[in-house]
Amino acid sequence: MRKYFLNYMAKEIKFSLVYRDMWQASGKYVPRVDQLTQIAPLIVEMGCFARVETNGGAFEQVNLLFGENPNRAVRDWTRLFNEKGIQTHMLERGLNGLRMYPVPADVRELFFKVKKSQRTNISRSFCGLNDTRNLELSVKYAKQAGMISQVALCITNSPIHTIEYYLKMVDEVVAFGCDEICLKDMAGIGRPAFLGGLTAAIKKKYPHLVIQYHGHTGPGFSVASMLEVAQAGADYLDVAMEPLSWGMVHPDVITIQAMLKDAGFKVPEINMKAYMEARQMTQSFIDDFLGYFIDPGNKIMTSLLVGCGLPGGMMGSMMADLKGMHSAINMALRNQNKSEVSLSDLVVLLFQEVEYIWPKLGYPPLVTPFSQYVKNIALMNVMHTLKGEPRWSTIDKNSWDMILGKTGRLPGPLAPEIIDLVKQHGLEFYEGNPQDAFPNELDKYRAEMAENGWDCGEDDEELLELAMHDRQYRDYKSGVAKKRFEQELEAEKLKANAPIVTTRPVLDMPKIDVADMLTKYPNAKPIQSQVRGKVLWEIDLLDKSKAPTIGSAVKENTPFCFIQTFYGNEKIISPYNGKVLRTYAKQGDVVQKGEIIAFVE
């Protein structure tokens, strides 16, 4: 058996600790900067990491929500790794930068300059649709700033996403000048043999390219995938460490190191004393406050993800969606003299619906934010079909933007029925480059900084935060963010220590009331929260709007209310024209993702 592995004896595999993503895949927040600087020496002392993922994604937003300066957090967190020769890397979302919606080109350019000055070495850039047009500027600006440009291929499993498909994408980003490729297996559904074949094909065509594999453990493929890509020529593997490995997160470095060592690869040794101390310290962060915001469901793996391909981190919010609609669906079924469904039945129905509609929507890779869009459409389809209504009756604005091509080109063709829906709604497909729809804005934000007397910061890093996360940055500067976080933490502590934990009734009213509305008003349409958070009917920094009264007019594609989330305030846009039949949540009420907050007709 050892003879079989002799070809790999000379091959060295290096490890990257995805310390940021470990937390992001587990719960709502990441450690504060004082905690990060405490753990950094132990990560170095473990001696097995060539790279550490330090920032990106929601990292800066979380610091703003703590009331912390995100730029100090990045600089202090990356300092020791740079001093010790460990590379730091970050995640950015191409056209969307560090946020969930598009970023103007001048802000994107400044972003890379700032991150380089903060000593982040590698930019891992991805487009949720694998549209290389959204990645061209990421590569260009990263290289201009002196960073290593790593382009991530969003891995999924479909007839469209073949080795040839991904090789074409690699050809295009190599032409842009990228230095490395990441196989971003965000849902962990990439089949091991496929990933090995893709790695081998890339290495054969571009031997100089560094390849890094990133795979979540949710459905259980990623350990086998790591062995396959290592044998095919991968250079780096993303790993986690206890107590935040496995579940919906990533494999633990101990397991992966032992597996590869046995297979004959050259792998670094692990200082187990330092590992145990880092493990204990990470647990102390959980015990301090971060554990209040960790979803227990994210500690569990499930093979149910194999079929639908949804990212494991969505499971918690998905269950909240289903719980919020369960009673209303069953009431509608009873009114049709049909059998009720259990919550488990609904889970299966939702997974089956995702599998059904995903090809019709052009096979968008199920990664942020497109995984949310597909899931939202599937969820509404389940509700409507169980009520005896047609599919596609409710599609939110963000999902329409995806369908119409406003955020990038879909990998596959839309089904004829979706094209017919576009015509029926009088909508038009967007044919241009997505970036062109978002004009430069830095001058506007410079003027705001000057008007408020705010310093633009070292290398314009404070200007970047305002331009990238304007709402959260204003709340940080005003002190509102810190106060809000402290109140939220106190509420979570009280809830955790309560002798009896009671769930807030859906909409603060008897559950039967929702079903009654659907029965009394057959044309009633729900307005639902697309995120979990606090309902705000009045926001000083954005708009001033009172809760609409019964009978008041509602306009399609206009803000209905706002939801205060962990990353800022989200507008809830009405998908309909009509009048308000009823609102439920009061100012400050916490609603779940998918929860109905009003009915209109």
Domain with CATH 3.20.20.70 in the chain: 2-295
In this structure, the chain runs to a length of 601
Which stretch of 115-129, 414-428, 551-565 has the lowest confidence by average pLDDT?
551-565
- Per-residue pLDDT tens for 295-311? 777 788 888 788 777 77
Buried-state track 81-106, b at ≥16 Cβ within 10 A, e below 16: beeeebbbbbbbbbbbbbbbebbbbb
Q: What is the mean pLDDT of residues 125-136?
A: 96
Q: What is the pLDDT of residue 356?
A: 93
Question: Would you say residue 371 has pLDDT above 90?
Answer: no
Q: What is the pLDDT of residue 4?
A: 43
Question: Would you say residue 231 has pLDDT above 70?
Answer: yes
Q: What is the pLDDT of residue 507?
A: 34
Q: What is the pLDDT of residue 524?
A: 80
Torsion angle defined by CA atoms of residues 45, 120, 223 and 317, in that order, rounded to the nearest 10 degrees: 110
Note the Cα 282 to chain centre separation in Å.
22
> 560, 575 in Cβ contact below 8 A?
no
Which stretch of 262-266, 483-487, 575-579 has the lowest confidence by average pLDDT?
575-579
With a CB cutoff of 8 Å and minimum separation 6, the contacts of 533 are 563, 564, 565, 566, 570, 590, 591
> 579, 549 in Cβ contact below 8 A?
no
Q: Which of 237, 193, 194 is nearest to 216 (CA)?
A: 237
Cα 22 to Cα 16: distance, rounded to the nearest angstrom = 12
SS3 content of the chain, % helix, strand, coil (to 5): 50, 15, 35
Cα 251 to Cα 218: distance, rounded to the nearest angstrom = 10
Q: Which of 238, 239, 241 is nearest to 283 (CA)?
A: 241
- What single string gives the DSSP state of each residue in 536-584? ES--SSS---PPPPTT-EE-TTSEEEEEEETTEEEEEE----EEEEEE-
The H or E element that residue 466 is part of is: helix 461-468
- The percent of residues above 90 in pLDDT, for the chain, comes to 62
- Per-residue pLDDT tens for 138-155? 999 999 999 999 999 999
Q: What is the pLDDT of residue 294?
A: 86
Q: What is the mean pLDDT of residues 16-41?
A: 94
- Residue 5's pLDDT band, with cuts at 50, 70 and 90, is very low
Question: Would you say residue 103 has pLDDT above 60?
Answer: yes
**More confidently predicted of 598 and 594:** 598
Domain with CATH 2.40.50.100 in the chain: 503-601
Q: What is the mean pLDDT of residues 189-194?
A: 97
Which stretch of 1-15, 204-218, 428-442 has the lowest confidence by average pLDDT?
1-15
> 234, 212 in Cβ contact below 8 A?
yes
Q: What is the pLDDT of residue 101?
A: 85
- What single string gives the DSSP state of each residue in 294-305? B-GGGG---TTH
Buried-state track 402-421, b at ≥16 Cβ within 10 A, e below 16: bbbbebbbbbbebeeebeeb
- The mean of the pLDDT values for the chain is 88
Q: What is the pLDDT of residue 566?
A: 60
> 128, 368 in Cβ contact below 8 A?
yes
| ω into 364 cis (within 30 of 0) | no
Q: What is the pLDDT of residue 318?
A: 66
**More confidently predicted of 401 and 496:** 401
CATH number of the domain at 503-601, out of 2.40.480.10, 2.60.120.200, 2.40.50.140, 2.40.50.100?
2.40.50.100
Question: Would you say residue 506 has pLDDT above 50?
Answer: no
> 121, 89 in Cβ contact below 8 A?
yes
- Residue 9's pLDDT band, with cuts at 50, 70 and 90, is low
Question: Would you say residue 422 has pLDDT above 80?
Answer: yes
Which stretch of 78-87, 403-412, 576-585 has the lowest confidence by average pLDDT?
576-585
Q: What is the pLDDT of residue 314?
A: 61
* Angle of CA points 455, 458, 459, to nearest 5°: 115
Query: What are the residues facing 152 on neighbouring strands?
Result: 182
Q: What is the mean pLDDT of residues 89-116?
A: 95
Q: What is the pLDDT of residue 503?
A: 33
Q: What is the pLDDT of residue 144?
A: 98
Q: Which of 492, 451, 458 is nearest to 590 (CA)?
A: 492
Strand blocks (E) in 74-116: 87-92
Q: What is the pLDDT of residue 6?
A: 45
Q: What is the pLDDT of residue 568?
A: 65
- Residue 83's pLDDT band, with cuts at 50, 70 and 90, is very high
Q: What is the pLDDT of residue 538?
A: 64
Question: Would you say residue 398 has pLDDT above 80?
Answer: yes
Note the Cα 596 to chain centre separation in Å.
23
Q: What is the mean pLDDT of residues 173-196?
A: 97
Which stretch of 60-74, 206-220, 582-596 has the lowest confidence by average pLDDT?
582-596
| ω into 369 cis (within 30 of 0) | yes
For the chain, the distance separating the N- and C-terminal CA atoms, rounded to the nearest angstrom, is 69
Q: What is the mean pLDDT of residues 466-483?
A: 95
Three-state DSSP at 51 gives strand
Q: What is the mean pLDDT of residues 529-538?
A: 78
CATH number of the domain at 2-295, out of 2.170.120.40, 1.20.120.80, 3.40.50.150, 3.20.20.70?
3.20.20.70
Q: What is the pLDDT of residue 280?
A: 96
Look-up of token digits 């879909």: 410
* Burial of residue 556, with CB atoms counted within 10 A of its CB: 0-12 exposed, 13-18 middle, 19 or more buried: exposed
Q: Pick from 283-287, 320-324, 589-593 the range whose average pLDDT is largest.
A: 283-287
With a CB cutoff of 8 Å and minimum separation 6, the contacts of 107 are 97, 440, 441, 442, 464, 467, 468
